[in-house]
Structure 1
């Protein structure tokens, strides 16, 4: 389902009120008038106009709890420069150790439904599904589970002994994945193929499939900067585990408090813009808007 990513700045203006029943701080949200018509469905009335405020020659509309938003709003998620440096290298799949500002971040919008071909053993499948269950439980907006039938799936895991599900993997000698995405950079179809002659031990096949599956959750670029046991590390290890940083990066990638599906150039420009806005006043906050379409 396609959507257009839009942005809105809402002002957070606080004031205190006192009553004998409770002491509380109430918060009133304001939106610029032109932004209001983009992001809210409720028609403004004469009563609403009585609460208009004016700032820098623009009109601010008081947002009440009764006003219906046309979509959903998600608070901007802040990360420090060190984390963002690692994230950009991984998520924007740079080449030759230099960031390409034209590359885009890719993510799964819909659930990942895994189909296991006949050659994948019960033990292999059980281990992989346990792996994906842990990821789904810890990462919002990312759900991975088994599809019993190939027709109901969007991700196939198979070996050289099976039917050739993806022509681009036909001639691989070891193991690899292949993924597809739409014009919004939303991943929508994936394949993992493993050569059983190369990976004769079951434990090696399981580990390799997990590595490829993790990498394909965002078309991630593996790095030599991480510990060898990390799933984001380019280093070989038979004892990989999802590190705290792996989870943090994956959670950030799938949160909606960042701009989704954009190029690195847009990603950096938006973050710079948000930081400038937030630095002007403690009364400001930033939200991303996602229409329901």
Structure 2
């Protein structure tokens, strides 16, 4: 009996050590035994590699094809994505970022004192996002505040999204910063899923209506994943600090959203978890 108990405990330890290496979006993974080759029979209960290590195999595994670099024109697209989501890609970062998503449809209400041409231009921008059919990202507008979960709010009070003691390299950098004259707050659950938000903008902080539209587009896009803005690529990227308010949405920005929303994760995803998913995507090929 003692030998049986020891053997059972050993199996539990081995299985548990590998169970977290694979993301399964449907339910608890079935455990199967197969040999490590592409022609193996997968009708068994356990998966056995050539080195005799057991790990769970699931026929219900999430499709991770979107994590293959060959799907994108930019060879470094997945590397850029990690910077946009996690900011720091080194060990022991000063701030630990996590992947954050909207898991419910976004219904936007815009305050009536936001100029009509700004509202029209912003709605046109959203329609272009929707035309690209990004999975799991549904955005619409409502004329009734009570039906919304995302409020674009005009405020008479000057707002900034940074501490008053924060120092910029120049006054121009401060004025062009995404969080000068505007900010956003998102409501999230314990699993890093957004279900409500408020974007505040101080109209008097901007010289023209085009400047207001530009800021709304950038800040709303950023709030779709609490993305980190930086000069990753051309100035027609919504995440560029010197964004040129392009009429078209750059493929780079669309691909960020496609990667981000191809799968709605049912758990917190840290950088190490995401890199494990990249490894699994290669194994699924």
TM-score range (shorter-chain normalised) is: 0.5 to 0.7
Structure with the higher strand share, 1 or 2: 1
Aligned to 1:86: 80
Deviation at 1:236, TM superposition (A): 4.1
Distance of aligned partners of 1:140 and 1:251 in 2 relative to their CA distance in 1, 3 Å threshold: same
- Given that residues 184 and 197 in structure 2 are in contact (C-alpha distance below 8 angstroms), is that contact kept between their aligned partners in structure 1? yes
**1:234 and 2:241 are equivalent in the alignment:** yes
Cα displacement string for residues 66-92 of structure 1 (whole angstroms, at most 9, x for unaligned residues)? xxx7xx843442333722211100012
1:4-45 CA distance string (max 9 Å, x none)? 846859989989xxxxxxxxxxxx98465379xxxxxxxxxx
Other structure's SS at 2:107 match: strand
Alignment RMSD: 4.3
SS in 2 for 1:197: helix
Residue deviations 1:205-242 (CA, integer Å, cap 9, x gap):
11111110111111110122211111121224344642
Aligned counterparts of 1:176 and 1:211: Cα–Cα separation in 2: 11
- 159, 168, 171: which one pairs with 2:154? 159
Give SS of 2:186's match.
strand
Q: Measure, in 2, the Cα distance between the counterparts of 1:112 and 1:147.
A: 10
C-alpha distance 249-31 of structure 1, shift in aligned 2 (>3 A): farther
Q: Where in structure 2 are there 5+ consecutive unaligned residues?
A: 1-23, 70-74, 165-178
CA contact (8 A) 1:221 1:232 kept: yes
1:192 equivalent to 2:186? Answer: no
Match for 1:119 among 113, 117, 127? 113
CA contact (8 A) 2:183 2:219 kept: yes
CA distance in 1, matches of 2:180, 2:66: 42
Shift of 1:118: 2.1
Length-normalised TM-score, structure 1: 0.64
Aligned residues: 234
C-alpha spacing 1:260/1:126, structure 2 compared with 1 (3 Å): farther
Higher helix proportion = 2
Per-residue deviation, 1:204: 1.2
User: Which one of the candidate residues 96, 99, 102 is aligned to 1:105?
Assistant: 99
Q: 1:29 to 1:226 in 2, by over 3 A?
A: farther
Task: Supply the distance in 2 between the matched residues of 1:76 and 1:179 (Cα, whole angstroms).
Answer: 30
The whole-number CA distance in structure 2 between the counterparts of 1:173 and 1:249 is 24
Question: CA separation in 1, counterparts of 2:267 and 2:221?
Answer: 19
Counterpart of 1:206 in structure 2 is 213
Q: Which moved more, 1:224-233 or 1:251-260?
A: 251-260
- Displacement of 1:154: 0.9
Quick one: distance in 2 between partners of 1:173 and 1:90? 20
1 CA distance for matches of 2:58 and 2:119? 54
Could you report, residue by residue, the CA deviation over 1:239-266 in whole angstroms, capped at 9, with x for unpaired residues?
Answer: 4642111111211111029887411121
- Over residues 182-216 of structure 1, what are the superposed CA-to-partner deviations in whole Å (9 max), with x where a residue is unaligned? 11111111111111211142111111111101111
Q: 1:130 aligns with which of 93, 110, 124?
A: 124
CA contact (8 A) 2:67 2:78 kept: no
Query: Is 1:143 matched up with 2:126?
Result: no
Match of 1:33 among 38, 45, 64: 45
Residues 1:88 and 1:198: Cα distance change in structure 2 (over 3 Å): same
Please say if residues 116 and 125 of structure 1, whose CA atoms lie closer than 8 Å, have aligned partners that are also in contact: yes
Greater RCO, 1 or 2 (C-alpha within 8 Å, sep 6+): 1
| TM score, norm. by length of structure 2 | 0.66
